[in-house]
Amino acid sequence: MTTVAPGPLVAPDVAITAPALSDGLDTPCAVVDLDRLERNIARMQASADRSGVSLRPHAKTHKSVKVAELQLAAGAHGLTVGTLGEAEVFADKGVADLFLAYPIWASDAKARRIRELHERVALRVAVDSVEGAEALGRAAAGSTRPLEVLVELDCGGHRTGARLDEAVAIARAADRAGLRTIGVMTYGGHAYAGREAIVPAGADEVKVVSRAADLLRAAGFEIAVLSVGSTPTASLPVPAPVTEVRPGTYVYHDRGQVWLGSCEPDDIAFWIATTITSVAVPGQAIVDAGAKAFARDTLRAAPGLGLGLLPTLPGVLREVNDYHGYVEPRGPTRGRPGEVLPLAPNHVCPVVDHYAETVMVRAGRVVDVWAVDARGRSR
């Protein structure tokens, strides 16, 4: 079991405020505060507009058609997705401009699905290898128009992405395979190492896509899209020649983003409502948000602070078993059985995937229930 450093909560956690929960919630359930959601969408759109770049939000955070509609209505240009399954869900609901921002191995069933999707929406796919480009080319062979690709570069996150000196070879392979290279992309995941890492990671993103675009243009490719961005890096001004940012988490925010300083403590829009089910064992409270209702993400920048925060108790979610969450109180009380508490995820994206729907609240009143349409579409 994870041990949580004892002692008081430190500054950013103390200030995290939960929206009012309505009475009678059937817990554990996902609650979204609409005022906060709308504010987060408007703020990121304004930030992209100020920088003069397109906003293509990553839909992995919300997986919801209704939330995507709010983002698109606010000015977003298309969506970013992580899987073909997510892309299919949004395409079925009329989102016609989708970027699959990961290198995909396009064989068998996936090849068929790519071709089918490509025929009905504007689909772009990331590639970071010659072999990947060739497989994607085979998948899209026979299509009525070339499939568009962006060459992915590693800018320091060391997850996916080619080296700069490989970019031209990958674009040439894509060309030979019948694909059209329209841009370059990168993801500065190393921004999540801590507050002080955000500005350098953002600079790494800009540097890598600028250089890659120069190299590809010198080799004769028409590069129109330079795509970067996480929530921390896209929350800051993004300079030219970047043309597009792809933040996702900003739509709901979470404890990790508060920790990083990417949002204010009262910006978290997505909460789990959870009920205390037992205080029988001294020193702790048990809530009904266990591993089947929550995620095990620790804060990368502050791993001693458990899995989530219950600011109204106050307490920290220390560990989860299948159906039980262990709450370590951080004040004089551990609550009473039956008490319903708001629980903030450290990292909201994997938590969302546990829920088929989100209860939408405004000023503590339930106003609607929205589907998490692409829940579970992990391939």
Ligand X SMILES: Cc1ncc(COP(=O)(O)O)c(C=O)c1O
State the residues that interact with ligand X by CB under 6 A: 58, 80, 101, 187, 230-231, 246-250
Q: Which is nearer to ligand X, 29 or 251 (CB)?
A: 251
Q: Which is nearer to ligand X, 249 or 346 (CB)?
A: 249
d(C-alpha 47, C-alpha 58), whole Å: 16
d(C-alpha 208, C-alpha 155), whole Å: 6
Structure tokens at 348: 């909201």
CB of 276 to ligand X, least distance (A): 31
Q: Which is nearer to ligand X, 250 or 326 (CB)?
A: 250
Q: Which is nearer to ligand X, 126 or 276 (CB)?
A: 126
CB of 265 to ligand X, least distance (A): 18
Q: Which is nearer to ligand X, 21 or 101 (CB)?
A: 101
φ, ψ of residue 160 in degrees (nearest 5) = -125, 175
**Longest distance between any two alpha carbons in the chain, whole Å:** 70
Q: Which is nearer to ligand X, 252 or 271 (CB)?
A: 252
CB of 230 to ligand X, least distance (A): 3
Q: Which is nearer to ligand X, 124 or 246 (CB)?
A: 246
CB of 346 to ligand X, least distance (A): 13
CB of 315 to ligand X, least distance (A): 26
- Indicate the residue type of 182: I
Q: Which is nearer to ligand X, 28 or 247 (CB)?
A: 247
Q: Where are the alpha helices (DSSP H) in the chain?
A: 11-15, 34-51, 65-74, 84-92, 108-120, 130-140, 167-176, 195-218, 231-234, 255-260, 348-352
The count of residues in the chain is 379
Across 58-81, b (16+ Cβ under 10 Å) vs e yields: bbbbbbbbebbebbbebebbbbbb
184 sits in which H/E element: strand 180-185
Three-class SS state of 6: coil
Prior bond of 342 cis (ω within 30°):
no
Of residues 210, 209, 189, the one with CA closest to residue 200: 189
CB of 7 to ligand X, least distance (A): 29
d(C-alpha 32, C-alpha 20), whole Å: 11
User: How far out from the chain centre does Cα 38 lie?
Assistant: 17
CB of 328 to ligand X, least distance (A): 27
262 sits in which H/E element: none
Comparing every residue's Cβ against ligand X, the nearest one is: 230
CB of 138 to ligand X, least distance (A): 24
